[in-house]
Homo-oligomer: A and B are copies of this chain.
């Protein structure tokens, strides 16, 4: 068995040569140091710019302008798609490869989250591999863990910090007290945020990733339209500082859990977690995933969630899988047996404890007016801090409610807005009550 496997060589076509693609070529060049069960060679590459400096010699590898042509080349056994984007050339390349019966390895979270069902069905129809470890949580081998290692337990909840940019921003806002805009600008300068940060800070990137994990863990059809998504751009430094006084951290948490036998909730939003919570400990650009299951309890995985090396390592883990045996359904179960549905939760049904952050105008009666609106909406206050207004003329206030429907808080805050007693738009953030 062993000698045959050890001498087997897979010939790759790599479509997309950004930092991850270059990192992959560097790692393949070092394969004698690795423990791969077979050999890898690179037959062809494709990217937008041939001349870009990549820190790796590609002069001996055939250059192909069209990634679809690369995918179909006779000397390409496996297609590695690192182009990115849910549609366009990435999708065309993946589809062409799978239709030709070639294994596809991709880091493309948007593609799998938005077209996962049809692409998985394509792979299954041709009995070929579609692997995407690098699409979720970078170097953390979480996709294979959920698909294979944890296929013998009942997953109850998957939650995590899946976007390193947002986690870096929130960690820095806590550390420095600086506002969102200036921390984002620093993150861009340091390479922790893209020049167009929207996909990250909006929560969309984390939403793509958690939907992929949810589909596998719960046997659910990926349906991106049903994921509830909120990002970090509305969070004020004062919300983070006052949460810390309550011994909480604000994290952008991506989570999925089973609401009933056929329904899975999936959402990304800022959440207050207790400072001893496993996700509270994850700082800077790290990612983490917590899997709660029966009969294990809680498993926590953490590590670098992005970057050339970590993401290339995840691609390598999928390449290693190709040597291990025949293809399996990309989403764990066959696409036509993904019977659970992702379904958004209504604001009325969304029960929880809530953090309200706002800046109150510094004049008599304002605080009473705010708390009266909450009382009228039947919202009970657990804890509250109001600080002195200082130079800004607006007094920071943070309220933690007892459990109630989100809709009740939303209605109360709408009335508060009519009273014109706050200097800014109040923030409404879920409090995770479990430690």
Chain B residue nearest to A300 (CB atoms) is B302
A residues 99-129 with Cβ under 8 Å of B? 124, 127
> Which chain B residues lie closer than 8 Å to A319 at the CB level?
152
Whether A148 sits at the interface, judged by CB under 8 Å, is yes
Whether A357 sits at the interface, judged by CB under 8 Å, is no
B-binding segment of A164-172, A186-194, A320-328: A320-328
Whether A210 sits at the interface, judged by CB under 8 Å, is no
1/0 contact string of A161-179 vs chain B (CB within 8 Å)? 0000000000000000000
Contact B301 A300, beta carbon cutoff 8 Å = yes
> Which chain B residues lie closer than 8 Å to A154 at the CB level?
30, 33-34
Whether A378 sits at the interface, judged by CB under 8 Å, is no
Considering the chains assembled together, what is the distance between the CA atoms of A296 and B33 in angstroms?
15
> Which chain B residues lie closer than 8 Å to A327 at the CB level?
1
Query: Number of contact residues on A: which range applies?
Result: 35 or more
How would you classify the secondary structure of chain A's contact residues: helix, strand, loop or mixed? mixed
Min CB distance, A2 to chain B, in Å?
A: 4
Contact A303 B300, beta carbon cutoff 8 Å = yes
> Given the interface contacts A1-B326, A148-B320, A317-B149, does A333 sit within 8 Å of B35 by beta carbon?
yes
Contact B295 A151, beta carbon cutoff 8 Å = no
Select which of B124, B312, B317 is within 8 A of A1 by beta carbon. Answer: B124
Min CB distance, A131 to chain B, in Å?
A: 11
1/0 contact string of A11-50 vs chain B (CB within 8 Å)? 0000000000001001100100111110000000000000
Whether A390 sits at the interface, judged by CB under 8 Å, is no
> Which chain B residues lie closer than 8 Å to A304 at the CB level?
296-298
16 contacts between A and B (CB under 8 A): A1-B327, A1-B328, A2-B334, A30-B154, A34-B152, A35-B332, A144-B149, A148-B324, A149-B317, A151-B317, A152-B317, A295-B312, A298-B303, A299-B303, A324-B324, A324-B325
Interface residues of A (CB under 8 A from B): 1-2, 5-6, 23, 26-27, 30, 33-37, 124, 127, 133, 139-141, 144-145, 148-154, 219, 278, 281, 293-304, 308-310, 312-313, 316-317, 319-321, 324-329, 332-334, 337
